[in-house]
């Protein structure tokens, strides 16, 4: 299936009926936008265990694994809700147990769990205050199952993210690389944000990045804990509650397809 959340796009493989072996090579081949299908992330749905409705695993377009992918989780949750007629789901990812609900009006909410604020959890290379890193611009570090680096700037649209993003994705303070956000505060409950995703590059939206930026803004006293985040591809609503960071937004199921044996034969 091809899906997207605000232009943050995914290929989703349904492995519940039969097992699907996904390799880094397959992820790279499928992710190529000229010779494959193209995506920001690849997701695999597998049968859930221990009462969970499904298990989800994510790969970036460069073949690396990602523990979390908020928009893909919302897209898959919407698909499973439509399939089952249910309005609540329990999903399992490398990030942990995530819960999704139908928010009405075509919107889907996912609880992305509590943010990771300690340097070891994110992780960073050495002990430090994660609120303001010793990097030019004083960004904030946050973990949402994957690492994030949020810069607060006067005008997010003026930042040349194609050059800025790679510079900090590979910063030595982030041993597992990082997602990079540039965010401008529009108001006490409103951010404008743009995203560079590790392993994917410039994306129109990112759910986990939106959660991380909202948490960083609240920690720094720039906003409250409930904010609207305007991305290049549209708007998400983030609410940092006692039980975790809830993300709400629209999803789109574009099409279903079959990967051919011819294509698979050329995958390393």
Query: How many whole angstroms separate alpha carbon 113 and alpha carbon 131?
Result: 19
Residue 210 sits in which domain range? 140-242
Residue-level pLDDT at 266: 87
Of 172, 183, 198, 174, give the one whose Cα is nearest residue 68: 198
Give pairs for 177-180: CB < 8 Å, separation 24+. 177/147, 178/141, 178/147, 178/148, 178/149, 179/146, 179/147, 179/148, 179/149, 179/206, 179/208, 179/209, 179/212, 180/148, 180/149, 180/151
Q: pLDDT tens digit string along 97-115?
A: 999 999 999 999 999 999 9
Q: pLDDT tens digit string along 199-242?
A: 899 999 999 999 999 999 999 999 999 999 999 999 999 999 99
The structural domain count of the chain equals: 2
Overall average pLDDT of the 46-73 stretch: 94
Q: Is residue 131 part of a domain?
A: no
- CATH number of domain containing 47: 3.10.310.10
Has residue 45 got a pLDDT over 90? yes
Q: Is residue 208 part of a domain?
A: yes
Query: How many whole angstroms separate alpha carbon 209 and alpha carbon 215?
Result: 10
Confidence of residue 40 (pLDDT cuts 50, 70, 90): very high
Residue-level pLDDT at 126: 97
Q: 43: cis peptide before it, omega within 30°?
A: no
Overall average pLDDT of the 11-17 stretch: 96
Q: Is residue 231 part of a domain?
A: yes
Q: Please give the full DSSP string across 55-75, using - where no structure is assigned.
A: EEEEEETTS-EES--HHHHHH
Q: Are residues 73 and 14 in the same domain?
A: yes
The model's pTM: 0.94
Residue-level pLDDT at 4: 97
Residue-averaged pLDDT of the chain: 96
Has residue 268 got a pLDDT over 80? no
Q: Are residues 107 and 153 in the same domain?
A: no
Confidence of residue 19 (pLDDT cuts 50, 70, 90): confident
Q: Are residues 9 and 101 in the same domain?
A: yes
Residue-level pLDDT at 15: 96
């Amino acid at each position: 299936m091809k899906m997207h959340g605000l232009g943050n796009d995914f290929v989703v493989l349904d492995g519940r009926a039969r097992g699907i072996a996904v390799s880094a090579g397959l992820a790279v081949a499928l992710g190529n936008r000229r010779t494959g299908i193209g995506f920001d992330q690849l997701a695999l749905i597998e049968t859930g265990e221990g009462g969970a409705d499904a298990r989800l695993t994510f790969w970036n377009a460069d073949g690396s694994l990602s523990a979390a992918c908020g928009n893909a989780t919302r897209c898959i949750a919407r698909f499973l809700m439509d399939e089952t007629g249910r309005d609540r789901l329990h999903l399992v990812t490398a990030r942990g147990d995530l819960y999704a609900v139908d928010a009405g009006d075509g919107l889907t909410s996912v609880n992305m769990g509590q943010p990771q604020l300690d340097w070891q959890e994110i992780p960073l290379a050495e002990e430090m205050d994660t609120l303001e890193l010793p990097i030019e611009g004083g960004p904030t570090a946050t973990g949402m199952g994957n690492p994030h680096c949020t810069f607060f700037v006067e005008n997010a649209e003026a930042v040349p993210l194609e050059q800025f993003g790679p510079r900090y994705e590979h910063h030595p303070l982030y041993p597992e690389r990082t997602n990079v956000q540039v965010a401008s505060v529009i108001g006490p409950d409103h951010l404008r944000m743009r995203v560079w995703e590790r392993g994917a590059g410039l994306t129109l939206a990112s759910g986990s990045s939106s959660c991380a930026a909202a948490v960083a803004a609240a920690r720094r006293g720039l906003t409250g804990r409930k904010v609207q985040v305007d991305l290049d591809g549209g708007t998400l609503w983030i609410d940092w509650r006692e039980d975790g960071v809830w993300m709400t937004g629209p999803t789109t199921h574009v099409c279903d397809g079959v990967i051919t044996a011819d294509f698979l034969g050329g995958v390393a």
